[in-house]
Structure 1
């Protein structure tokens, strides 16, 4: 029956299948291990330290609640511009979401600047699901679920039920005082997603490298004992409350995040591409 639903439906199904875990397992079983692309070795603690340094600069420069409370002296456009400028000064590059060069959807591009290998580029945001947490309903037709090496999953979809679940879990844990919600922003006229003020928080739109070599790779990082003033800049909410406090803040409770790190030099105008199947 899919044949009668048009090419857009078929393309959407193909994109969903490319990230569907059984499909990836099938690719592994059919692939010669010698041909699986090798990834670079990155110290996750160094990635966490780099991220913490960048977020500390943001936190020192902005009163975070003004982004969400609606009682701002500046417009959201002004805040967005200032935040992007600060991130560019700190990182040496800027990211934007544009029409992808490898598929019909959108992708993430380095719109300004350049960077070297082993550099933190962005985060894969979303709701964190531990082992045994229910995720079947959310996964239907959802190509934004990323599985970590230890079995934890992140749902980075900013629409439909995934969006509602993230906001529900976030406000259960005191909302914007605990995590970033701006990655869920949508255009009030078109309803389409807009680039977040913090462009680090849009790694879910990085596409599969497919037949070319990727220029970024996923790195699992555990955040532990960060001050709440920095934790609230991270775009993560846990599906199940953590016993003893807030993940990433209290009593050594780790918060799993996924960072995308460059595997080579990346220059202005290039699209970020990751290998969904790598080792």
Structure 2
């Protein structure tokens, strides 16, 4: 005998569809089955008579089950649509919250370049500002001291990489004799050191910096929340009044184009006289620096250092663009100082200068910016500077 068909009922608004048998009805009410036309489909096929061929019964069962599945999907569609609407609303709220967080993050980095905000918040940000009486008194140490520090460091890097300087030294025989004398002194010293530290003849740029100035600096995750990358004294001790880092990048005069490079760029440094230095090592700024650097190259003589654009630094001081601004909790321990490279700077050492001018026809000294320590800085401390200098 044929089994009795399960009943089909339309769920009420606000109720959910259940599988299996229908719930019992109150006494005196008859259960009704919706017609196929109400479900939006064609009528169910007629049940074959008892004793009909097995093929006919199988075909009727298949068509009946298919029709019931389609009808059930149509009946449950309003419930599924309501759930989808609720899920879409939740996703919209999540996306709106994420967009708001991103806007706050962007505003947090941009507001320091928004002049009206700066004007309204100068009094509340006095600790994060640096005040100087005149633009000429912006220097912590003399330019001669900056020059001597850079010259000493770059010479040590040059001698450490002496084997790669053959093409340059061939064109500068007098300079070659001077460096050969310095190299002889270095080799004698290395022989003395090899008695206690055998095999240590080739040094990394960081080790050269430590042997020359007594400290090394490097990039790492900042101790400030959401500050990104910071600069730390990774080894040694930095005395007060020492050049601890350099701000690399392309140097622009006030009238030179920098609009497209400045879009979304937090690494543009403005000097007191309006000269700009783009210290971004990515995107268009990176391409502009490399183009200008290779434009000014004279045979084997490189007029600037491109290694700060990579993870392997030839000049380990060229990390100043990642020094973070001080806060109320973290006072500044370094400050920026502008320095114009003199014309008599050794041409063989310009390959370590991490700056290049945008215009080739500029008849002026190359502008550099160094960071000078305001106090003694110990190993493991992060460097913090004042992003804004107010000239009274």
Fold conserved between structures, TM > 0.5: yes
Higher helix share goes to which structure? 2
Query: Which residue, 15, 26, 50 being the options, matches 2:119?
Result: 26
1:119 and 2:218 aligned: no
Q: 1:101 aligns with which of 197, 200, 223?
A: 223
Structure 1's unaligned 5+ residue stretches are 67-77, 186-193, 245-252
User: Aligned pair in 2 of structure 1 residues 94, 25: CA closer, same or farther (>3 Å)?
Assistant: same
The equivalent of 1:254 in structure 2 is 365
Query: In structure 2, what is the Cα distance between the partners aligned to 1:135 and 1:214?
Result: 29
**What SS does structure 2 have at the residue aligned with 1:57?**
helix
Residue range with higher mean Cα deviation, 39-48 or 162-171: 39-48
Structure number with the bigger relative contact order (C-alpha 8 A, sep ≥ 6) is 1
Output aligned runs, 1:148-187, within 5 Å.
148-174=271-297, 177-185=302-310
Aligned length, in residue pairs: 251
Q: Which residue is equivalent to 1:189?
A: none
CA distance in 2, matches of 1:231, 1:23: 40
2:339 — aligned with what?
221
Per the TM alignment, residue 25 of structure 1 is displaced from its structure 2 partner at its CA by 4.7
Secondary structure in structure 2 of the residue aligned to 1:101: coil
1:72 corresponds to which residue? none
> Which residue in the other structure is 2:387 paired with?
276
Aligned residue number for residue 188 of structure 1: none
Distance in 2, matches of 1:80 and 1:27, equals 54
RMSD after superposition:
2.9
SS at match of 1:177: coil
Matched, 1:237 2:353: no
CA drift of 1:36 comes to 4.6
Map 1:184-199 → 2, pairs under 5 A: 184-185=309-310, 194=311, 196-199=313-316
TM superposition score normalised by structure 2 = 0.58
Structure 2 vs 1, CA of residues 271 and 172 (structure 1 numbering), >3 Å: closer, same or farther?
same
Cα distance between partner residues in 1 of 2:163 and 2:322: 24
Q: Give the distance between the partners of 2:290 and 2:114, measured in 1 at CA.
A: 25
Cα distance, 1:8–1:107 mapped onto 2, change above 3 Å: farther
Residues 14-39 of structure 1 deviation map (CA, whole Å, 9 limit, x = unaligned) = 12333x26367526765698995447
1:31-69: CA deviations, max 9, x gaps? 698995447732223212211121122122214858xxx
Alignment deviations for residues 243-278 of structure 1 (CA, whole Å, 9 cap, x no partner): 46xxxxxxxx31100000000000011000001123
The one of 159, 165, 170 aligned to 1:60: 159
Counterparts of 1:35 and 1:196 in 2: how far apart (Å)?
A: 30
Alignment match, 1:69: none
Is residue 97–residue 195 contact of structure 1 (8 Å, CA) maintained in 2? no
Counterpart Cα distance in 2 of 1:178 and 1:65: 16
Question: TM-score, length-normalised on structure 1?
Answer: 0.80
Larger radius of gyration: 2
Deviates more, 1:42-51 or 1:57-66: 57-66
